[in-house]
Amino acid sequence: MSFKKMTLKTYPLLLFFAVEFIMSSCANKAGDKGSSSIGDSTEYQETPDNKKNIVLPKKTFGVFDNEGGQDSSPSSSSTEKSKVILKQHTSAIEIPVMLKNVPNFILKRYAYTMSYNKSTRCPNWVAWKLTGNHTYGSYKRKNYNFHEDMDVPSPRAKLHDYSYNGLGLERGHMCPAGDNKWSDRAMDECHLLSNICPQYGKLNGGAWKYLEEDCRDWAEAYNCIYIVCGPIFYGKTHGTTIGEDKIAVPDAFFKVILRLGNKPQALGFIYPNRKCSGGKSKYVMSVDKVEEIVGMDFFSSLDDNVENKVEQSSNLNLWR
């Protein structure tokens, strides 16, 4: 067969494969954009630090409605096909297990994972891994704006909900901007209003801010820490709300912190949603105590012996 004849016969085939390749590449790029629920393809971004001290999880999340975010009791009928069971990522030591039946819509962001509560319009919890090399960077908070999270069900928080309220409430980050200076995408996503709770300014700019700074110091000192935080609502009903979308005002905030390594340690904190004076020692407590108050099981993927030991301690002197 001559080269000319072979070229004429094979040209359509080559063109077909070229078009297929281009379409496939475009689809893959489109899939890389944006955030996703934990069941989608977006994965936790591994760093060399992430691969140390990883253990397999023992528990799974509860069952929830993947579209509406409505949590369901684990005893719900297995025939409800709109329900799915979400398993923890094997590397996500920071992901807690909810022990209460509340709306529980899970979203995986670039730098953190969160459980969103459509009744309070606030997160139930926000969890992330903070490494030493994520405590600094060139992306500054002043260059980013708060924005509505279109991934959570409506009604949801909007910018005008946090307009002047006469109560001294501000937009309080759960996963803070200071932990996200390492990435443009991470900094942008931490300004989603689903990562925000109404927080009194004297707490937001005071004791809570100082604890965030301490966490960054600990991440640098120990190379890596795991953090979970969120709002606390003590009553069965959420009495105070702000804005047209009725964002519930938390009574308090919790934060639990874990470090691994040769001598694992953990700390828990609860701060009332008001001006808090007296330093960290006034608000520190064991992780066990925080679990009892908020109805969650933290760091459950740890070996039981390690988990039980670290969650009983509240010794600040063990944290340099």
From 89, 134, 160, 173, active-site residue: 173
Q: How far lies 44's CA from each of 57, 156, 214, 240, in Å? A: 15, 26, 24, 36
Q: Based on the residue annotation, tell me whether 173 is a catalytic residue of this protein.
A: yes
Alpha-carbon gap, residue 294 to 34, rounded angstroms: 31
- Looking at the annotation, which residues are catalytic? 173
